[in-house]
Amino acid sequence: MSSLEGLSLTTMLIISAVIVIPILAIFYVYIFDRKQKQHAILRNYPILGRIRYMIEKVGPEFRQYLFDSDNEGKPFSREDYLHMVLPGKYLNSVIGFGSKRDFDSPGYYLRNAMFTKQNEEMRVDNDRKIDSMRYIVDGEGLFSRREHREEVKAQPWLLPDEDAVVIGPTCKHPFRVHSLLGQSAMSYGALGENAITALSKGIGMATGAWMNTGEGGLSPHHLAGDADIIAQIGSGLFGFRTEEGEFDWNLLKEKAENPKVRAFELKLAQGAKMRGGHVEGSKVTEEIAMIRNVTPFKTINSPNRFHQFDDFPSMFSFIEQIRNHSGKPVGIKIVIGGQADAEELASFMKETGMGPDFISVDGSEGGSGATYQDLADSVGLPIRSALIILDDALRKFGVRDRVKIIASGKMTTPDKAAIALAMGADLVQIARGFMISVGCIMAQRCHTNECPAGVATTDPHLQRGLVVEEKKYRVTNYILTMREGLFRIAAAAGLDSPTKLERHHVFYKDERGRVTPIE
């Protein structure tokens, strides 16, 4: 009996199907692609064209994980990414063997002192320990990692009360900040409820820090933890608008009466988009629509600017009204376009005695859930240029002591934050570092509602992957390691507090090795 005679009819049919069906599928695709008129490559080379498009589709993932070196990749390299993930998971930022930085390339460096400060000499509030959780690696192989989570009492690395940064000291309710860094604006809607809740709880557990609501309005998820809140008001007035889209002073007063809301911020622009926000309709759930007072599941595009003002005098008047109505500090979020804009702002502050209590200045390298490539790549100045221009302008017109500067734009590690503080910032805020601490893998699908990590999505199925109880500790740990790093850098510079970092502590080294103090 031959081998074929020994096979059952069912087995032969299966084998035939395995051979015939793929051949028929390839033949169908070949005929279909030869007749279609949209793609020239597929029309001329149907099979090779399909392979080309498949490789093109998976190319970003292959580059990110296999082909880019540790210091390549945008907007963050693999090395940048790990410097955000590992401290949050392991409450540790220690490395071995040496830095992977390219020391031959131009860049900024922090000045070290000949005689550094001892830990006991630092002006820091570490009296009250923070209850957190961290992972311990038990063993690691090629295909597996064994680790367990343990409780830990961590040091908070807060500013003592005498060094606290006071925003709006003349307001009825000033905002005293004991953390040099907080969370930059991220809206409920751009991020899902699990991500916002984990951030709120994690920031609250770290104590002293703040979170910015973003322009989507104050949600119950922002209030889920014990974090201080900066409530942002965007040009769409979400959370602060009537059904007709006008500013609602009663809603402002209602938000201001919440003790967790410590300040308000008018968003004029952000780094990746000098215009109003955008949220796809698929993200606008009924709850989000209710908070924003808009139509559910309809795409939202905020106006490019506020209807309430269109110059400095009218903006200052609006700021005064909000401050008087709420009793709390009011700031603006801007992107610096040049020296003239910064000096005009400072000049009006001097002439009128009015103006914001704080300025959030965002660099053009900042992120966004949805924007346009042309705006993200080429409009506005990077944070390190913008900071110096703004700080200089405020000092030139003698109003620097009236306003605090909060800097943002890819300052995701302590050294980058320290450079910003030395360049003129009073405080630093971060968005994408916090996103990564709750699970973001940089899939760059934020604008589609298809975030695979459940962070930048309102899809319940995808959000299920983000477990609040686990991720909140990573947020806490990320803040604690960032703050500890700032004090460590200050000690290396011979300072007893990172609040004392100044321009002469930063040098710029060019491609020929020449060193220039940025002052």
- 43/32 Cα distance (integer angstroms): 9
Residue 14: which domain range? Answer: 9-67
Q: Give the model's pLDDT for residue 366.
A: 80
Is residue 2 scored above 60 in pLDDT?
no
Q: Is residue 78 part of a domain?
A: no
Helix, strand, coil fractions of the chain, as percent rounded to 5: 40, 15, 45
368-391 residue pLDDT tens: 767 777 887 778 899 999 999 999
Q: What CATH code is carried by the domain that includes residue 183?
A: 3.20.20.70
Which H or E run contains 146? strand 145-154
- 418/503 Cα distance (integer angstroms): 11
Q: Choose one of 67, 86, 106: the last residue of a domain.
A: 67
For residue 408, the SS3 value is: strand
Judge contact between 326 and 259, C-beta under 8 A. no
Q: Is residue 84 part of a domain?
A: no
Q: Which of 61-65, 404-408, 428-432, 460-464 has the lowest mean pLDDT?
A: 61-65
Taking residue 401's Cβ as centre, other Cβ atoms within 10 Å add up to 9
Number of domains in the chain: 2
Amino acid (1-letter code) at residue 125: D
Q: Which of 71-75, 128-132, 193-197 has the lowest mean pLDDT?
A: 71-75
Is residue 12 scored above 80 in pLDDT?
no
484-511 residue pLDDT tens: 999 999 999 999 999 999 999 999 999 9
Q: What is the mean pLDDT of residues 64-93?
A: 82
Give residue 424's region: left, alpha or beta (phi > 0; psi -120 to 50): left
Q: Give the model's pLDDT for residue 4.
A: 52
Q: What is the mean pLDDT of residues 50-61?
A: 79
Q: Which of 35-44, 116-125, 210-219 has the lowest mean pLDDT?
A: 35-44
User: What contacts 436, CB < 8 A, 6 or more positions away?
Assistant: 81, 84, 85, 88, 412, 442
Q: Is residue 391 part of a domain?
A: yes
- Domain shared by 60 and 136, yes or no: no
Q: Give the model's pLDDT for residue 7.
A: 62
pLDDT tier at 221 (50, 70, 90 boundaries)?
A: very high
Give residue 98's region: left, alpha or beta (phi > 0; psi -120 to 50): left
- Domain shared by 53 and 182, yes or no: no
- Domain shared by 288 and 223, yes or no: yes
Cα–Cα distances in Å, from 292 out to 192, 216, 240, 424, 462? 15, 6, 8, 35, 23
Q: Give the model's pLDDT for residue 1.
A: 45
- Domain shared by 127 and 55, yes or no: no
This prediction has a pTM of 0.88
Could you tell me the two tokens for 396? Answer: 């030139």
Q: Is residue 158 part of a domain?
A: yes
- Domain shared by 132 and 49, yes or no: no
Portion of the chain with pLDDT greater than 70, in percent: 97
For residue 330, the SS3 value is: strand
Of 277, 153, 304, 145, nearest in space to 216 by CA: 277
- Domain shared by 19 and 167, yes or no: no
- Domain shared by 196 and 55, yes or no: no
Is residue 51 scored above 80 in pLDDT?
yes
Q: Is residue 96 part of a domain?
A: no
- Domain shared by 283 and 420, yes or no: yes
Is residue 71 scored above 80 in pLDDT?
no
pLDDT tier at 206 (50, 70, 90 boundaries)?
A: very high
Q: What is the mean pLDDT of residues 238-259?
A: 93
Q: Is residue 83 part of a domain?
A: no
Q: What is the mean pLDDT of residues 395-417?
A: 96
Whose structure tokens read 């949805």? Answer: 370
Range from 23-37, 272-286, 301-315, 415-429 that averages highest in pLDDT: 415-429
Q: Is residue 93 part of a domain?
A: no
- Domain shared by 435 and 312, yes or no: yes
Q: Which residue has the higher pLDDT, 301 or 457?
A: 457
- Domain shared by 137 and 48, yes or no: no
For residue 375, the SS3 value is: helix
Q: Is residue 3 part of a domain?
A: no
- 369/271 Cα distance (integer angstroms): 12
User: What contacts 458, CB < 8 A, 6 or more positions away?
Assistant: 189, 192, 193, 282, 283, 284, 285, 288, 449
Q: Which residue has the higher pLDDT, 193 or 66?
A: 193
- Domain shared by 277 and 371, yes or no: yes
- Domain shared by 395 and 513, yes or no: yes
pLDDT tier at 98 (50, 70, 90 boundaries)?
A: confident
Q: What is the mean pLDDT of residues 96-106?
A: 88
Range from 28-42, 187-201, 297-311 that averages highest in pLDDT: 187-201
